Amino acid sequence: MNSSSGKSYMSTASSSVIWKAGGDVVADQFPAGLRVLVVDDDPTCLMILEKMLKACQYNVTKCNRAETALSMLRENRNGFDIIISDVHMPDMDGFKLLEHIGLEMDLPVIMMSADDGKNVVMKGVTHGACDYLIKPVRIEALKNIWQHVVRKRKNEWKDFEQSGSVEEGDRQPKQSEDADYSSSANEGNWKSSKRRKDDEDENDERDDTSTLKKPRVVWSVELHQQFVAAVNQLGIEKAVPKKILELMNVPGLTRENVASHLQKYRLYLRRLSGVSQHPSNLNNSFMNPQDATFGPLDLQALAATGQLPAQSLATLQAAGLGRSTAKSGIPMPLVDQRNIFSFENPKLRFGEAQQHVNNNKQMNLLHGIPTTMEPKQLAGLHHTAQSMGNMNMPVLSHGSQSSQNNPLLMQMAQPQARGQMLNDSTVGLAPRLLSPMGQPMLSNGMATNVSTRNGVPENIRAPSYNPVSQTSSMLNFPMNHISELPGNSFPLVSTPGISSLAPKVAFQEDVNSEIKGSVGFMPSYDIFNDLNQHKPQNWELQNVGMMFNTSQHSNSLRGNLDHTQSVLVQQGFSTGQNRNSTVISKAMFSAGDSTGHVNAQNGNQHLNSLFVDNTVRVKSERVADAAPANLYPDHFGQEDLMSALLKQQDVIAPAENNDFDFDGYSIDNIPV
């Protein structure tokens, strides 16, 4: 384990210790030493806060610019436990920063402002802030901020445990309680959905290893690939830690390791679907539909965020480059996103994935519409792809022959119910998608997964999650997608762009319901469900997907996915990257705060409203993604695409484990 993880690990341990003691703060030093990052452009306030936090015995780092804070966080993901940020800052809106942090690092963020207006506070809540302080801040208010850290960890734990690792008996009950007193709305939703999901899946996975302190395992690329392969093989829904562990057959790896990684992975996938990559990435990759240069772009984005391990980046780039040329412009961001599941970090870095997603192509994010298997996703998948690659490869190779892909996709999807559904729908779609995408993809080398784009958008979505290497993700993604995310599978078919969303949604969906067949089974994503209903539109989605892939879509998708993570989603979409697709999601998140995305055509609108109803943020994201149709004016009636995407999204979403609840992860779409 690396030191940083060790550090956070320790914090976790502390928290757990606390829990064990029945909630009493045991005599360990926690919360002393809590690592706080405080961001405020006002030097007076900053100095006062620093002094106050030091008086609370916290470890304080101050920063007067949001950009600086973000890069600090990226460089050292595990270097901080909690962030306190002002809302009003000159270089970046505090909410945007909040979204980014939520998406990329998933750390608790406290907002503060002299403004105590209800709207602003509400915005904080919807964007995923775990607390909101009114200036002038008193030291008493700061004394208890550690609770947010503990709470978050607890939630993570819960997922953790539920995913199969059984901790001490007393822990279990605590976790259940946790949902009860979650302070933020997000947490509540998130937890409950997570819990639900976990309970469904993991009840039989209890182990007797119940050490609170799990040794941190560094998930290397290879290890992650094995993991993804195992998950794909089992099918995302059936992928339980025990079986994954068996399949992986890695000595020294415990079920808990796998369980926690699986959790993160799911979150990652979810983010992918809803996350939009960095604006920069997005622009690059999505901007040109023709160019589907998501690969390179994503990589850059990923690399920028530091998430992309050097090697991955190289791989991705290679893949991406190859792809770019060949690609007809259908970015497979979706796929990448998924794969981008942080290989290196045990903790999922949604932010990264999200970036991917965004960059790659919102499309993937979209409901899982296979539309665009963003390269990034492929990259992310790349390890997965390897394992799955075999499966996909054949498919991909045909690229153009969507039909071929479909079968393969279907195979992949098989394990997952969702996948199935998608396949059906995707089949129709896939051909389309595949052709445009497949071909390019193949050439890239990512081909295997790439082609999936058409049908494999889903995979793509996932890859993006890991910044690791876009190119690789691309490839992998499709593969992973198919197998892993039932929901994802849908994307494959539907829309590339959407797929990204789908993964996200899928996650959520899982919680709510399985993807029944990609048709609106997602309770949380009502909208999606609706979309799904229109199966026939799948092919439409394809178009959409394609469109999305090219540029905006991926972005929006990404944004969408991310949004689910955090309320920020709305913002993410607006960024424009999401463009159309995000519209929908936006609606969901920001309660209609779709800045740009709203393009979502009617379908989107509808979705939006639906989403809005759904508290799940993620949902909005997804919807938004679907909306991207607007973004790509040319190709396919965006509207059609959007609706198709949306539908896809719905379908896909359910497949995934929703337990993660989108709430936490804001999508990178958030325009900075």
Dist. CA 96–CA 73, nearest whole Å: 14
- Rounded least distance, CB 63 to other proteins, Å: 16
Q: What is the CA radius of gyration of the chain?
A: 21
Dist. CA 657–CA 198, nearest whole Å: 8
Is 47 a binding residue for other proteins by CB under 8 A? The answer is: yes
The stretch among 108-116, 351-359, 527-535, 571-579 that binds other proteins (CB under 8 A) is: 108-116
- Rounded least distance, CB 446 to other proteins, Å: 46
Nearer to other proteins, 123 or 535 (CB): 123
Burial (CB count within 10 angstroms: exposed 0-12, middle 13-18, buried 19+), residue 67: middle
For residue 402, give the amino acid letter: S
- Rounded least distance, CB 71 to other proteins, Å: 24
Residue 420 has which token pair?
Answer: 């199935």
- Rounded least distance, CB 48 to other proteins, Å: 6
CA 458 distance to own-chain centroid: 12
The three-state (H, E, C) secondary structure of 595-656, written as one string: CCHHHCCHHHHHHHHHHHHCCCHHHHHHHHHHEHHHHCCCCCCHHHHHHHHHHHHHHHHHHC
Nearer to other proteins, 32 or 47 (CB): 47
**The only residue of 35, 74, 77, 135 in contact with other proteins, by rule CB under 8 A:** 135
Residue 219 has which token pair?
Answer: 């998930």
Q: What are phi and psi of 114, to 5 degrees?
A: -80, -15
Is 44 a binding residue for other proteins by CB under 8 A? The answer is: yes
Is 32 a binding residue for other proteins by CB under 8 A? The answer is: no
Nearer to other proteins, 64 or 666 (CB): 64
- What is the distance in angstroms between the CA of the first residue and the CA of the last residue of the chain? 33
Nearer to other proteins, 135 or 356 (CB): 135
Is 51 a binding residue for other proteins by CB under 8 A? The answer is: yes
Dist. CA 382–CA 69, nearest whole Å: 30
- Rounded least distance, CB 143 to other proteins, Å: 12
- Rounded least distance, CB 89 to other proteins, Å: 10
- Rounded least distance, CB 314 to other proteins, Å: 44
Closest CA to 67 of 44, 101, 102: 101
Residue 215 has which token pair?
Answer: 């040794």
Peptide bond into 31 cis (omega under 30): yes
* Residue 429-458 contact track with other proteins, rule CB under 8 A, x = bound: ------------------------------
Nearer to other proteins, 138 or 213 (CB): 138
C-beta of residue 375 within 8 angstroms of C-beta of residue 551: no
- Rounded least distance, CB 44 to other proteins, Å: 4
**The only residue of 91, 115, 170, 222 in contact with other proteins, by rule CB under 8 A:** 115
Residue 251 has which token pair?
Answer: 């000595």
Is 121 a binding residue for other proteins by CB under 8 A? The answer is: no
**The only residue of 88, 143, 206, 238 in contact with other proteins, by rule CB under 8 A:** 88
The 10 Å Cβ neighbour count of residue 437 is 49
Is 412 a binding residue for other proteins by CB under 8 A? The answer is: no
The three-state (H, E, C) secondary structure of 542-564, written as one string: HHHHHHHHHCHHHHHHHHHHHHH
Nearer to other proteins, 52 or 70 (CB): 52
Nearer to other proteins, 135 or 347 (CB): 135
Dist. CA 599–CA 50, nearest whole Å: 43
- Rounded least distance, CB 42 to other proteins, Å: 5
Q: What are phi and psi of 627, to 5 degrees?
A: -60, -30
CA 359 distance to own-chain centroid: 13
Size of the site for other proteins (CB under 8 A): 20
- Rounded least distance, CB 74 to other proteins, Å: 27
Dist. CA 249–CA 338, nearest whole Å: 23
Nearer to other proteins, 86 or 650 (CB): 86
Is 65 a binding residue for other proteins by CB under 8 A? The answer is: no
Bridge partners (DSSP) listed for residue 655: none
The stretch among 44-52, 185-193, 459-467, 498-506 that binds other proteins (CB under 8 A) is: 44-52
**The only residue of 18, 37, 38, 45 in contact with other proteins, by rule CB under 8 A:** 45
Q: Which residues of 509-543 are buried (b: 16+ CB within 10 A; e: fewer)?
A: bbbbbbbbbbbbbbbbbbbbbbbbebbebbbbbbb
- Rounded least distance, CB 51 to other proteins, Å: 5
Closest CA to 268 of 481, 550, 36: 481
Is 43 a binding residue for other proteins by CB under 8 A? The answer is: yes
Is 215 a binding residue for other proteins by CB under 8 A? The answer is: no
Bridge partners (DSSP) listed for residue 509: 657
- Rounded least distance, CB 140 to other proteins, Å: 9
- Rounded least distance, CB 379 to other proteins, Å: 41
Nearer to other proteins, 58 or 589 (CB): 58
Dist. CA 81–CA 2, nearest whole Å: 16
Closest CA to 589 of 558, 623, 626, 552: 623
Nearer to other proteins, 136 or 173 (CB): 136
Is 48 a binding residue for other proteins by CB under 8 A? The answer is: yes
The three-state (H, E, C) secondary structure of 618-634, written as one string: HHHHHHHHHEHHHHCCC
Tell the residue number behind the tokens 């390269």, with chain if given.
Answer: 375
- Rounded least distance, CB 30 to other proteins, Å: 23
Nearer to other proteins, 45 or 101 (CB): 45
Is 42 a binding residue for other proteins by CB under 8 A? The answer is: yes
The stretch among 47-55, 224-232, 300-308, 598-606 that binds other proteins (CB under 8 A) is: 47-55
- Rounded least distance, CB 54 to other proteins, Å: 9
- Rounded least distance, CB 142 to other proteins, Å: 11
**The only residue of 3, 23, 32, 55 in contact with other proteins, by rule CB under 8 A:** 55
Residue 638 has which token pair?
Answer: 């965006």
Nearer to other proteins, 136 or 215 (CB): 136
Element (H, E) at 475: helix 470-484
**The only residue of 8, 61, 85, 113 in contact with other proteins, by rule CB under 8 A:** 113
Is 213 a binding residue for other proteins by CB under 8 A? The answer is: no
Closest CA to 475 of 492, 460, 465, 489: 460
- Rounded least distance, CB 55 to other proteins, Å: 6
Is 52 a binding residue for other proteins by CB under 8 A? The answer is: yes
The 10 Å Cβ neighbour count of residue 254 is 18
The stretch among 4-12, 42-50, 259-267, 386-394 that binds other proteins (CB under 8 A) is: 42-50
To 10 degrees, what angle do helices 470-484 and 221-234 make? 30
Nearer to other proteins, 36 or 541 (CB): 36
Is 144 a binding residue for other proteins by CB under 8 A? The answer is: no
Residue 381 has which token pair?
Answer: 């998948």
Is 82 a binding residue for other proteins by CB under 8 A? The answer is: no
Residues that bind other proteins (CB under 8 A): 41-45, 47-48, 51-52, 55, 86, 88, 113-115, 135-139
